[in-house]
Amino acid sequence: MLSELPLLSLTIWTPILGGIAVLFVGDDSPAKARRLALVVAVATFVLSLPLWTGFDVTTAAMQFGEFWPWISAFKINYHLGVDGFSMPLVLLTTFITVLVVIAGWEVVQYRVAQYMAAFLIMEGLMIGVFAALDAILFYVFFEAMLIPMFLVIGIWGGPRRVYATIKFFLYTFFGSVFMLIALLYMYFKSGSFEILEFHQLKLGMTEQILIFLSFMLAFAVKVPMFPVHTWLPDAHVEAPTGGSVVLAAITLKIGGYGFVRFALPITPDASASLDWLIIGMSLIAVVYIGLVALIQQDMKKLIAYSSIAHMGFVTLGFFVMFAILRSTNSLSGAALGIQGGMVQMVSHGFISGAMFLCVGVLYDRVHSRQIQDYGGVANTMPVFASFMVLFGFANAGLPGTSGFIGEFMVVLASFKGSFWIAFLAALTLILGAAYTLWLIKRVVFGEVVHKHVAELQDINTREFTILLVLAVAVLGLGLWPQPLTDVLQASVNNLVQHVAVSKL
């Protein structure tokens, strides 16, 4: 019965319409706006659950499909559907949004209704990005999503928010314009905007290279990959806690998703010949960004850089298959890499969200993000300290937490590609532990030296609940990743088979 409902449309439009309703409730009754926002977020999350429970793990085909003609003159359709790649990301979005709404409960006092509405509308648009099977529909969601994030940083952000928003907007917009050209080109070649038809479209090598590069530009900015990453630390630093959480947990994933939905299947030969570029940029992300993270004095900047380093594993996992193919003449290990990248995305959603929430908890009390303003937090906030240490270890990729699985899989797969790729990637064991534990040491441990730290109150029930839910997610996935890998399996194998066949 459930499967007959247009579930994807419901998960997209419930938060968008709900968000508009929250706007109408208005700022004069913030309490009502909060309550309504929570109801909408929870309802969306509940609506998204059947996508998982009703998901058929045996097939790589699109499920929960919906198809309505939209602009028939240009054959643009409202076409939705999810497979193993997108379904987990849709659930991640609905899950994180609930937490973000709760996280903003008492903290946001300025324009509450608009704050909540922005996040709800953004949620719907991001789900749209993951569920769209029509290229124009995808592009509309992809660009529209920028607006609420732009507003969130621009209105509720820190002192340099204007610089950050403009940088964020221009960076991402710059990338996506090229993607639009590529999409239009393929429309003129195939006469359709169906993404799945693009997958089958025959393309020459030059075409593939150009299309690949335009996709790469669009998605590398989102991920973000070195060297187009510098918008992220600025955006994170200026964004309010909720904005940082959504940015790190979900927005970045759109970049990774773009690679598996567009770049790899549409331009397999270009991907194979330019894999060194992506692998090189990913490894730089792991090593270079890891070192840069080490010296950050601002907690949010440090976590932002750590996000970039972790996302390096995503892109590395996706593209290491070509190195494997060259070095072993076999595809064994290719699926391991791609699954590793996907698992890393979901896991990073939990962990980076949790880390930014932890910083938010401290920021709400002390109003500083500087590491030197803390020290000895464990003395006054023991419960919070336990959570932060747990998430810190997850961030450092400790086995038993979700942070381990993706990195482990990608390193195992990389070894098949080349010893040196694995060598550089595995450096994250040292660098990741170094920047995370050094942060923990300076913030959580030690004597209390500042008066404001001595006066800290431990987390309240609301904060405790959010962190507990994330802790359960991080540990649950870490101890038993099979439910997630089963969902991914068919789609990943299908992608590997598809990419292995040349389009030339």
Partner 1 sequence: MQNIYLSIVIAPLVGALIAGLFGKKIGRSASHWVTIGGVGISFFLSLLVFQHHVIQGAAAYNDTVYTWMVVDGIKFEVGFLIDNLTVMMMTVVTFVSLMVHIYTIGYMSDDSGYQRFFSYISLFTFSMLMLVMSNNFLQLFFGWEAVGVVSYLLIGFWFKKPTAIYANMKAFLVNRVGDFGFLLGIAGVLMYFNSLDYADVFRAAPLFATKTIEIIPGTEWSLMSVVCILLFIGAMGKSAQIPLHVWLPDSMEGPTPISALIHAATMVTAGIFMVSRMSPLFELSTTALSFVLVIGALTALFMGFLGIIQNDIKRVVAYSTLSQLGYMTVALGVSAYSAAVFHLMTHAFFKALLFLGAGSVIIGMHHEQDMRKMGGLRKYMPITWITSLVGSLALIGFPGFSGFYSKDSIIEAVHASNIAGSGFAYFAVIVGVFVTAFYSFRMYFLVFHGEERFRHNHHHAEDSGIHGHDHAVTPHESPWVVTIPLIMLALPSVVIGGKTIGSILFGDYFSGVIYVEHEHDTIAHIAEHFHGAFSFAMHGFIGLPFWLAMAGVGSAWFIYMKRPELADAFKSKLSPVYNLLERKYGFDEFNQAVFANGSVNLGKCLWKFGDAALIDGVIVNGSAKVIGWVASIVRHVQSGYLYHYAFAMIIGLLGMLTWIVVR
Q: Quote the CA–CA distance of 405 and 397 in Å, as a whole number.
A: 8
**Token duo for residue 114:** 């608009």
Smallest gap from residue 231 Cβ to partner 1 (A): 8
**Token duo for residue 307:** 């996000």
Secondary structure (3-state) at 110: coil
Nearest to 62 by CA among 124, 131, 6: 131
Smallest gap from residue 427 Cβ to partner 1 (A): 7
Contact call for residue 201 and partner 1 (CB under 8 A) = no
Neighbours of 135 (CB within 10 A): 26
Contact call for residue 465 and partner 1 (CB under 8 A) = no
Smallest gap from residue 274 Cβ to partner 1 (A): 21
Which position has the token pair 């529209």? 144
Indicate the residue type of 275. Answer: D
Residues 6+ apart with CB under 8 A from 359: 241, 244, 299, 300, 303, 369
Segment holding 497, helix H or strand E: helix 482-500
Contact call for residue 378 and partner 1 (CB under 8 A) = yes
Q: Which residues on neighbouring strands pair with residue 80, listed in sequence order?
A: 66, 132
Q: Quote the CA–CA distance of 436 and 468 in Å, as a whole number.
A: 20
- 398 to 417, contacts with partner 1 by CB under 8 A? 398-400, 404-405, 408-409, 411-412, 414-416
Contact call for residue 437 and partner 1 (CB under 8 A) = yes
Kindly tell me which residue out of 2, 200, 480, 497 binds partner 1, with binding defined by CB under 8 A.
480
Kindly tell me which residue out of 373, 438, 452, 498 binds partner 1, with binding defined by CB under 8 A.
438
Helices (H), 295-333: 299-328
Residue count, binding to partner 1 (CB under 8 A): 58
Nearest to 169 by CA among 187, 194, 144, 190: 144
| Piece of the chain touching partner 1 by CB under 8 A; list 82-90, 139-147, 152-160, 393-401 | 393-401
Which position has the token pair 């409960």? 105
Segment holding 21, helix H or strand E: helix 7-25
Smallest gap from residue 164 Cβ to partner 1 (A): 12
- 122 to 181, contacts with partner 1 by CB under 8 A? 167, 170-171
Indicate the residue type of 104. Answer: G
Q: Quote the CA–CA distance of 265 and 436 in Å, as a whole number.
A: 36
- Looking at the Cβ atoms of 34 and 300, the one nearer to partner 1 is 300
Neighbours of 154 (CB within 10 A): 18
Kindly tell me which residue out of 67, 227, 326, 370 binds partner 1, with binding defined by CB under 8 A.
227
- Upstream peptide bond of 227 is cis (omega within 30 degrees of 0): yes
Q: Which residues on neighbouring strands pair with residue 352, listed in sequence order?
A: none
Smallest gap from residue 150 Cβ to partner 1 (A): 17
- Looking at the Cβ atoms of 83 and 134, the one nearer to partner 1 is 83
Q: Between the CA atoms of 80, 82, 83 and 86, what dihedral angle is there, to the nearest 10 degrees?
A: 120
Nearest to 363 by CA among 296, 452, 249: 452
Contact call for residue 489 and partner 1 (CB under 8 A) = yes
**Token duo for residue 293:** 């993270």
**Token duo for residue 504:** 């030339």
- 318 to 337, contacts with partner 1 by CB under 8 A? 332-336
- 260 to 299, contacts with partner 1 by CB under 8 A? 288, 291-296
Neighbours of 329 (CB within 10 A): 8
Contact call for residue 470 and partner 1 (CB under 8 A) = no
Kindly tell me which residue out of 21, 446, 475, 500 binds partner 1, with binding defined by CB under 8 A.
446
Kindly tell me which residue out of 376, 391, 394, 499 binds partner 1, with binding defined by CB under 8 A.
376
Q: Quote the CA–CA distance of 496 and 484 in Å, as a whole number.
A: 18
| Piece of the chain touching partner 1 by CB under 8 A; list 39-47, 188-196, 355-363, 444-452 | 444-452
- Looking at the Cβ atoms of 201 and 434, the one nearer to partner 1 is 434
Smallest gap from residue 434 Cβ to partner 1 (A): 6
- Looking at the Cβ atoms of 121 and 308, the one nearer to partner 1 is 308
- 57 to 96, contacts with partner 1 by CB under 8 A? none
Neighbours of 436 (CB within 10 A): 26
- 336 to 365, contacts with partner 1 by CB under 8 A? 336, 339
Kindly tell me which residue out of 276, 441, 460, 462 binds partner 1, with binding defined by CB under 8 A.
441
Compose the 14-53 pattern: x for residues touching partner 1 by CB under 8 A, - for all others.
Answer: ----------------------------------------
Contact call for residue 395 and partner 1 (CB under 8 A) = no
**Positions that interact with partner 1 (CB under 8 A):** 167, 170-171, 227, 230, 288, 291-296, 332-336, 339, 376, 378-379, 389, 393, 398-400, 404-405, 408-409, 411-412, 414-416, 419-420, 422-423, 426-427, 429-431, 433-434, 437-438, 441, 444-447, 480-482, 485, 489
